[in-house]
Amino acid sequence: MLQNESGAVPVLAAGARRRDREDRRTVGSPLVADPRMTCRNVDVYYGEKHAVRGVSLDIAKNEVLALIGPSGCGKSTFIRCLNRMNDPIEGCRVTGDIRLDGADIYDSGVDVVPLRAQVGMVFQKPNPFPKSIWHNVAYGPKIHGLAADRYELDGIVENSLRRAGLWEEVKDRLDQPGTALSGGQQQRLCIARALAVEPEIILMDEPCSALDPIATAHIENLIDELRANYSIVIVTHSMQQASRVSQRTAYFHLGDLIEVGRTEIVFTNPLHPLTEDYITGRFG
């Protein structure tokens, strides 16, 4: 099922590339000075469907980058390219150039296991393993061999749960199934699970869409704290959430990256009319 084209398209092609719709050209500042990840001319196809069109975007260190846009605009598809989670999808093809610390992650020699250990992911629907809370968090470190013994593993589990703000609630019932927790707790458990493998970048695909406002606030605070050590890319449908947690915001529209900029500028003074329509509620 590994059918993606892993051949890299040269970065140089960015300037030479012709746009058939000039008004869909990305405006703002998609590129940053000292990026963790760089994406150039990323196209994603699902069979015949062209889901992401020529996106070029950088992810900076210690920033929260919010991806917003109407449903089906390709933001989830794009975020899943960043740790190659699209690989198992039948008929999905990714072209372009995505680099993590300068190394092409779609190169044929790249092993997705360390890539995904480096670029963690939290999904839209909380998806804890049907195992105990402890096993949920310990699973990643265990398969990567991050702990020498059970004692060290216990330490990683506690530390990850603490960072996810869940430790106090579950410390007495680590042996209970993770699926028995409430929705918000499950999502924080999934975040703890992602943190346990000590990733450098965390991708969050609408992490709060299934949660109530209190659980959402919890996770937003958490994202804010995590920013000190990680780069975070978050897909969200809530513009309030994007403005609360992110430093930069990218607006996607029907597969095109329309505008990227500092969050406060995108929301107060958008450069592109499509962005303005969306954030003022005239579209979407």
Nearer residue to other proteins within complex by CB, 117 or 174: 117
Nearest approach, Cβ of residue 120 and other proteins (Å): 7
Q: What is the CA radius of gyration of the chain?
A: 19
Please give the DSSP secondary-structure letter assigned to residue 148.
Answer: S
Nearer residue to other proteins within complex by CB, 197 or 239: 197
Nearest approach, Cβ of residue 255 and other proteins (Å): 22
Nearer residue to other proteins within complex by CB, 6 or 179: 179
| Burial (CB count within 10 angstroms: exposed 0-12, middle 13-18, buried 19+), residue 276 | middle
Question: Which are the contacts of 241, defined by CB distance < 8 A and separation ≥ 6?
Answer: 66, 208, 216, 220, 234
Query: By the 8 A CB rule, do 204 and 125 touch?
Result: no
CA trace torsion 78, 237, 200, 56 (10° rounding): 40
Nearest approach, Cβ of residue 177 and other proteins (Å): 6
Nearer residue to other proteins within complex by CB, 73 or 196: 196
Q: Is residue 158 within a helix (H) or strand (E), and if so which, with residue range?
A: helix 150-163
Nearer residue to other proteins within complex by CB, 196 or 239: 196
Please give the DSSP secondary-structure letter assigned to residue 19.
Answer: P
Amino acid identity of 107? D
Nearer residue to other proteins within complex by CB, 31 or 112: 112
Q: Is residue 76 within a helix (H) or strand (E), and if so which, with residue range?
A: helix 75-81
Nearest approach, Cβ of residue 148 and other proteins (Å): 19
Q: Where are the beta strands (DSSP E) in the chain?
A: 27-28, 35-46, 49-60, 64-68, 92-100, 103-104, 119-122, 201-205, 231-235, 248-253, 256-262
Among 266, 121, 92, residue whose Cα is nearest residue 191? 121
Nearest approach, Cβ of residue 178 and other proteins (Å): 9
Nearer residue to other proteins within complex by CB, 152 or 175: 175
Q: Which residues bind other proteins (CB under 8 A)?
A: 1, 3, 83, 85, 88, 90, 112-117, 120-123, 125, 127-131, 139-140, 143-144, 177, 179, 190, 193-194, 196-197
Nearest approach, Cβ of residue 140 and other proteins (Å): 4
Nearer residue to other proteins within complex by CB, 81 or 239: 81
Nearest approach, Cβ of residue 154 and other proteins (Å): 18
Amino acid identity of 275? T
Quick one: the chain helix, strand, coil %, rounded to 5?
35, 25, 40
Q: Is residue 213 within a helix (H) or strand (E), and if so which, with residue range?
A: helix 213-226
Nearest approach, Cβ of residue 189 and other proteins (Å): 11
